Amino acid sequence: MWVPHVLMPHYTPTCNRCEEKSGVDVSRWTWVDNPKILHGLCTHRYLDSVECFCLNCGKDFQAWHEDTLRLDGEEVTGTLNFRLSNGLAVDDELCSFIVAHSTDTTVLTHQRIKDLQADFWVNQASACHRGILANRVKPVVRKGPIDAILSDKPETARQKIRKSLRWEHTKLDRQVAAKQSAFNADVSFVSITQRKENRNSIGESFPGIDKAKCQKLIRHGIRSAKALLEYDGDIPGIKYSWKSIVQKHYDDLECELEHLKGKCDAALTELNLDISVLGHVSQDENPPEKPLTMDAEEEEEAHPRFSDLFDSAGFNCRVVSRATIN
């Protein structure tokens, strides 16, 4: 929040119209109608501010108005640590990154930010994984009381077995979802070409289809793996064996997916059997647990949907347009 008269004692913002402080009444303030989106390298936030009333002009003015910040530059420097723009704001970390890479193209800057994002979240996931291995992260029990989660009572043998069964099913369910996503996804030959520029990734995807072959497919309008599987033409130089390599890739994914689904179903059956036979195993007086089956409403409540792209109240999947980046 940018509420300058609260953040800085004895500070009064300057009216952007009359350029005077004398008529500004900081006690008569309201929140702005539309907060800005504060973009950062690792997360995005909302940036809110206030409108103050000027007695000289008889009108409200925004505390983050460009002229107000320019007139009060000596007072707000060091406290205002983000870059304001029309409709959005950028925090100090992202602003420094953009300034340091100002000579790069927009596409290259965007790709570097994506790489930083990937590296940041991989490190976060690794830290969480190590915390789980060190028994520093407790699993959240669905629909369980917070007192049971934070209880210092030692776990019984049955509780440990139940937790192990539940974790095994959760782990396999996540693996099935990841493998299903990889099976459904199309693979772009453009991205394959870029990855194969690194010598360590030459045989990583579609071994036998090197960088030159990918570029040849792209030149003839075949830009993805599924497009190659659907291709039935007679262009010279495009061999049937390339289609076989791609088909083998998806066949292997399908085989692995079916294997994981079988293990996941077996883990769920074992967990539900344990719940049916032994019921609730915690030390608190709670009703017996039910097998892990949820209706549509419970499923939607447990896994809330992302908001739509242009949802004015959501912004869970909000992205920045290319015009805004430029």
* Whole-number pLDDT of residue 38: 92
Residues 262, 171: one domain?
yes
The residue out of 98, 115, 138 marking a domain boundary is 98
Which pLDDT tens digits describe the chain residue by residue (326 residues)?
Answer: 889 888 888 889 999 888 888 889 888 889 998 889 999 888 889 999 999 999 888 888 888 888 888 898 888 888 888 888 888 899 988 889 888 988 998 888 888 888 888 888 888 888 888 888 888 877 665 544 444 444 556 778 888 888 888 889 999 999 998 888 888 888 888 887 777 776 665 666 777 787 788 888 888 888 888 888 888 777 777 787 888 888 888 888 899 999 999 999 998 888 888 888 777 766 443 444 555 554 544 444 444 455 555 555 554 444 555 666 56
* Whole-number pLDDT of residue 323: 67
Residues 206, 94: one domain?
no
**Is position 309 within any domain?**
no
Strands 59-62 vs 50-54: parallel, antiparallel or unpaired? antiparallel
DSSP of 295-315, one letter per residue?
Answer: -HHHHHHHSPPPPPTT-TTT-
**Is position 302 within any domain?**
no
Of the candidates 140, 130, 145, 133, the one whose C-alpha atom is nearest the C-alpha of residue 163 is 140
* Whole-number pLDDT of residue 246: 85
Residues 66, 162: one domain?
no
**Is position 182 within any domain?**
yes
Residues 289, 164: one domain?
yes
* Whole-number pLDDT of residue 304: 47
- Rounded Cα distance, 307 and 305, in Å: 6
**Is position 27 within any domain?**
yes
Residues 289, 167: one domain?
yes
**Is position 113 within any domain?**
no
Backbone angles phi, psi at 75, to 5 degrees: -85, -35
- Rounded Cα distance, 230 and 134, in Å: 49
Does the pTM exceed 0.75? no
DSSP of 182-216, one letter per residue?
Answer: HHHS--BHHHHHHHHTSGGGTTTSSTT--HHHHHH
Residues 185, 76: one domain?
no
Residues 159, 80: one domain?
no
Residues 78, 159: one domain?
no
Burial 289-310 (b: 16+ CB within 10 A, else e): beeeeeeeeeeeeeeeeeeeee
* Whole-number pLDDT of residue 137: 74
Triad 264, 268, 271: Cα angle to 5°:
140
Specify the amino acid at residue 94.
Answer: L
* Whole-number pLDDT of residue 303: 46
* Whole-number pLDDT of residue 258: 92
Beta carbons within 10 angstroms of residue 29's beta carbon = 19
- 80, 300 Cβ separation under 8 angstroms: no
**Is position 316 within any domain?**
no
Domain boundaries, position 26: 4-98
Domain count, the chain: 2
Residues 89, 161: one domain?
no
Residues 289, 159: one domain?
yes
The residue out of 78, 98, 118 marking a domain boundary is 98
Backbone angles phi, psi at 283, to 5 degrees: -85, -10
Beta carbons within 10 angstroms of residue 169's beta carbon = 21
- Rounded Cα distance, 229 and 80, in Å: 55
